[in-house]
Chain A
Amino acid sequence: MKILVPLKRVPDADTKIRVKPDGSGIETDGVKFSVNPFDAIALEEALRLKEKFGDIETVVASIGEEACAEQLRTGLAMGADRAVLIRSDADLDPRAVAQVLAALFRREQPGLVLMGKQAIDDDSNQCGQMLAALLGLGQATFVSKLELLDHASRARCGRETDAGLETVTVTLPAVLTTDLRLNEPRYVSVPGILKAKKKPLEVLPLTDFCAGAVSRTKLLRLEAPPHRQAGARVRSVDELLDKLRHEAKVI
């Protein structure tokens, strides 16, 4: 079986996000970029399935600028077998990304797509579900437990919903999106980095690959959220209860 894992290049989770004064985007000077943490969890799961079952090829893919190759190299260093970079300098919305991934799916014919439930930059949480719809495949979102059943023809997935854990089975191929608790991604090792240099990283121009993928979302401006003012310090429980009862009137 082949597992396709899309990896998005995003500002590192520990970065302090600052909006540019002209509102055109966020400051990227000096910002460290990483693999979207949920995508790293997806790749970790693919690698664990490969270690368990053996005959699995893991393919990582990214869509975007030349620099996305860094995140693909990280994926290869973690243990992915090969990488595909679909080059584009356009801002693509989730629908456009899903269209590109659908084209990649048709080319690669994987048995499973594993991807993060959301990217921590755009926070949309749409791509996997749209991809599944475009391909007419089943989906399981927010997966925190995964087990392949019946010779990898089905997957049993634990899903983190607002009400608690839900378990479903999904016919494969399917698109599964990963939640935080599925696993803890491995660190990249030095031998892993050395091996990654010899692994194939194919670069395809988006315009050749999926020319119709155009964003329908237009960013007019970005702004910092209104700053919440720090309030008062209280010295005791009595003072706190008094303020909550008589000043804020919330209890």
Chain B
Amino acid sequence: MPQILVIAEHDQGQLKAATLAATGFARKVGSAAGGQFEVLVLGHGVAGVAESLRHCGAVSVLTADDPALRHPLADKFAAVIAGVVRGRGATMVVAAASTFSKDILPRAAGLLDTGMLSDVIDVWPDGGDFTFKRVLFAGNALATVKLDGPLKFLTVRAAAFATPPPTESAAPVVAVPVDGATLPNQIEFVAREGRAAGRPDATEAPIVVSGGRAIRNADDFERLVGGLADALGAAVGSSRALVDAGITPNSLQIGQTGKVVAPNLYFALGISGAIQHLAGMKDTRVIVAVNKDPEAPVFEVADYGLVGDVYEVVPELIAKLKPG
């Protein structure tokens, strides 16, 4: 029976919603093959995050709480995860795919000499083992794979696994001992540039408004893309073209090499729809595309396409969305 360990991700005391999708994966495996799962929260001062996970269906919420874990540094986090995997006898380690998990999980897998699959979107039991489906080639191919070995590491796409309903019973919170002084010390935290306050993260938000090449400068991006996002309470995103042009920061990029999002509603404003961009948003429920070029490839995936200039269409949208 699989013993699953879900690695929780949080940001300044707030659990990332994608973690709950990873518990959805764990419940799916558990209900198909028996077995149970635990959640591990690493950090410093994580009692609140642990508390918010007590009804996620885990048999216990483990905390590795130590001042040395204040920042998610790969050398320390991977060492702690490897220790917990050994100590708890986990056979499967899973986290939602993000820059956090992609930095840390492969390192922990390396420490334990085990294989790993990234961006898993489906799982099913198969003769005492499991078969997985994962995304590759910028979303242009899906691979059905097996991963040999008694221990497997995985990142899963949050959009592919539903957040399970909260359980009645509350799992106990169990502290795992961490001795900060014995952890590796090769990476030192210097600084972190905070995300612009006020808008949600694109990977978490139900609506994402994204701008592309048609946006001519940062002021216009803020006025049009930011303005529409604020009118909808949405997150903002960007195509690679705008990041390359220095108009938007790297952290807004949606696509194969940026963030992968799957909100309820995605506005592609002046985005042509290169396959690398589509790889980051095509699992969205409803896609709206606004583009001057009626032949833009983005219209091939859009549920609602409006041929028009974003400089005219978007101000009208914002005006008509405003109450009153």
Interface on A for B, CB 8 Å cutoff? 11, 13, 16-17, 19, 26, 38, 93-95, 98, 117-118, 120-134, 136-142, 144, 156, 159-171, 174, 179-181, 216-225, 228, 230-238, 240-241, 243-244, 248, 250-251
Contact = CB atoms under 8 A, between A and B. Distances in A.
Nearest to A126: B106
In order of increasing CB-CB distance, the 10 nearest A-B pairs are: A133-B110, A138-B186, A231-B303, A130-B110, A129-B106, A126-B106, A216-B115, A167-B190, A17-B140, A250-B265
Given A93-B115, A165-B251, A250-B207, A220 B316 contact: no
A225 to B, nearest CB: 5
Given A179-B250, A220-B146, A222-B143, A231 B304 contact: yes
B193 A222 contact: no
Contacts of A128: 106
Interface of B: 11, 73-75, 78, 98-100, 102-111, 113-119, 131, 135-149, 184, 186-195, 201, 203, 207, 232, 240, 243, 249-251, 256-257, 259, 264-265, 275-276, 282, 285-288, 299-307, 313, 316-317, 320-321
A38 B144 CA distance: 26
Nearest to A138: B186
Contact of B192 (A164, A180, A222, A235): A164
A161 B253 CA distance: 11
A174 to B, nearest CB: 7
Contact of A234 (B193, B286, B304): B304
Given A129-B107, A162-B259, A241-B320, A232 B303 contact: yes
Contacts of A240: 288, 304, 306, 317
A167 B105 CA distance: 20
A244 B286 contact: yes
Contacts of A241: 317, 320-321
A169 B190 contact: yes
Contacts, number: 257
Contact of A134 (B75, B110, B285, B302): B110
B276 to A, nearest CB: 8
Contact of A244 (B189, B265, B313): B265
A132 B110 contact: yes
A163 B299 CA distance: 30
A181 B252 CA distance: 13
Contacts of A165: 192-193, 249-251
A187 to B, nearest CB: 17
Question: Which of A13, A131, A162 is packed against the most chain B CB atoms within 10 Å?
Answer: A162
A250 B131 CA distance: 34
Given A125-B106, A180-B250, 4 more contacts: A123-B119, A129-B110, A225-B135, A240-B317
A166 B142 contact: no
A160 B250 contact: yes
A130 B39 CA distance: 23
B186 A174 contact: yes
Contact of B75 (A16, A139, A216): A139
B146 A217 contact: yes
B137 A94 contact: no
A236 B186 CA distance: 57
